Amino acid sequence: MRRVLLVEDDAPVREALVQSVMLAECDPVPAASFVVAKDHISRDFDGVIVSDIRMPGRDGFHLLEYAQNVDPELPVILLTGEGDIPMAVRAMGEGAFGFLEKPCSPSDLMAVVERALKTRALVLENRVLKAQLETGDPAARLIFGVSDKAEALRAQVRAVARSGSGAFITGAAGTGISKVAEVVHLCSSIARTAFVKRSGAGLDVSALESALEQARGGALFIDEIAELSAQAQFFLLEHLENGANVKVFGGGAEIAAIQAALNPDLFYRLEIGRVHIPSIAERPEDIPVLFRHYVAQAGEQSGITPPDIKGEHIADLMQQDWSGNARALMSAAMRFVLGISAPEPSAELSLSDQLAQFERALLVSALERHEGKASVAAAALKLPRKTFYDRLARYGVKPEDYRV
């Protein structure tokens, strides 16, 4: 967030301003008139305005008034070649952040712009925090549970979001790593920017470059980041060291495995922030809350009014280990809403039909445990990928139905 809207009708002067702003590592947005500039002025504009006063048609004072009406806290710096005292007094009295006489040196210009950018950043951050306090921040609204571990998870998410750094999000299969990474982004000061998700497996340099460009100004989440190739790791590290305007989150099961697989410089660049998601087995007291939420969600998705959840059903759920974590609990909630139970072998079926039923259950269970990642599920079952996909097709099972 270092954008500077430059409003100047004189092309050579406008180009000089653009150069000064770019050399200060800001993002210039040139405009030759108020008519062009006004389309960029909004309450969400994440930058400041520098405008000439004397321009054909609508002048700088009109622009200042317009900006004040849109957002009284949007800094406007006015420039003039005729800088007399009455004009400066009028500019400041009408709410200008600063007033400079042309020609001004780049250092004088950027000193005022930098102060304005810091002021704007604080204003926007305070608005985000106020909105979170009024409506419940994303961590409170999207991470469920009443246990101490659930509260600790929300605290980790908020701390990493405030830090503005990249992070590693770790947890067992099915815990919702990508979801928690997105909640970190939603809790941050750049919540309204892009959040791009990619899998580290097979992410070559070209695809990584494209993802970074899509995430520019926002965040890129790389699931299974330990699977990035050495070339992709080097490219990512170089991109970050060159001042990339992207936050990068990496996902994986264990931080030790990530550290062992990543280039040390890249690992330490990203490991400033860490969020570990506890498994459901570590917080069984959250099962009732999670299950009720997933049942309500499943009812909404299927258009079915969910049946009442009996106390004995909750007690039974709390006796299970839930090795598939949130993904497995979601599937159980959907079956509950649809009124079906997990398949059990039937004495009325032939042996081949019973084996087929059992095989399908194993395939589904593997996908649930590994969040729909077919290659990982195939490896867990020690099946070649082609064989695994053939068997999925045989039973009409789709990996995407099991992704968190």
The per-residue pLDDT for 391 is 85
Q: Provide the token pair at 389.
A: 């996909």
Of 356, 342, 398, which Cα lies nearest the Cα of 374? 398
- The CA distance from 96 to 295, in Å, is 54
pLDDT for 388 equals 84
Question: pLDDT at position 347, please?
Answer: 47
The reported pLDDT for the residue numbered 152 is 95
Are the C-beta atoms of residues 143 and 275 closer than 8 Å to each other? no
DSSP 189-252: TTTTS-EEEEESTT--HHHHHHHHHHTTTSEEEEETGGG--HHHHHHHHHHHHTT-S-EEEEEE
Q: How many CA atoms lie within 13 A of 80 on its CB side?
A: 19
Q: Is 165 helix (H, G, I), strand (E, B) or coil?
A: coil
- One digit per residue, the tens of pLDDT, for the chain of length 404 reads 689 999 988 898 889 999 999 998 899 999 998 989 889 999 989 999 999 888 888 888 899 999 999 998 899 999 887 656 677 677 777 788 888 888 888 988 999 999 899 888 878 876 765 665 565 688 988 898 888 899 999 999 999 999 888 899 999 999 999 999 999 999 998 999 999 999 998 899 999 999 999 999 999 999 999 999 999 999 999 999 888 789 999 999 999 999 999 999 999 999 889 999 999 999 988 888 899 889 988 888 877 888 888 767 887 888 888 988 998 899 899 888 888 765 454 445 555 665 666 677 678 767 877 778 888 888 888 788 888 888 888 888 888 777 76
Residue with tokens 């550290």: 259
For residue 228, how far is the Cα from the chain centroid? 20
- Is the peptide bond preceding residue 103 cis, with omega within 30 degrees of 0? yes
Distance from C-alpha of 8 to C-alpha of 251, rounded to nearest angstrom: 46
Q: Is 221 exposed, middle or buried (0-12, 13-18, 19+ CB in 10 A)?
A: buried
Quote the pLDDT of residue 187.
Answer: 93
The interaxial angle of helices 385-395 and 351-369, nearest 10 deg, is 120
List the alpha helices (DSSP H) in 262-401. Answer: 264-270, 287-302, 311-318, 325-338, 351-369, 374-380, 385-395
**Rounded-to-integer distance, Cα 368 and Cα 362, Å:** 10
pLDDT at 59: 85
DSSP class of 306: P
For 75, 121, 198, 248, 277, the CA distances from 190, given in Å and listed in that order, are 19, 10, 19, 13, 23
Cα–Cα dist 141/122, whole Å: 24
Question: Which pair of structure tokens corresponds to residue 395?
Answer: 């039973």
> Tokens 């053939």 identify what position?
390
- Give the pLDDT confidence score for residue 165 in this predicted structure: 87
In 3-state terms, what secondary structure has residue 49? strand
For residue 245 the two structure tokens come to 């305007």
Residue 173's alpha-carbon distances to 31, 144, 148, 230, 356, in angstroms, are: 50, 18, 21, 24, 25
Write the DSSP assignment of 68-137 as a string of letters. Answer: HHH-TTS-EEEEESS--HHHHHHHHHTT-SEEEESS--HHHHHHHHHHHHHHHHHHHHHHHHHHHHHH--
Give Cα 42 distance to the centre of its chain.
23
Q: What is the pLDDT of residue 48?
A: 94
pLDDT at res. 169: 97
Q: Which of 118, 113, 123, 119 is nearest to 28 (CA)?
A: 113
Under 8 Å between Cβ of 288 and 145:
no
Q: Which residues contact 349 (CB under 8 A, 6 or more apart)?
A: 357
Burial classification of residue 255, based on how many CB atoms lie within 10 Å of its CB (0-12 exposed, 13-18 middle, 19 or more buried): middle
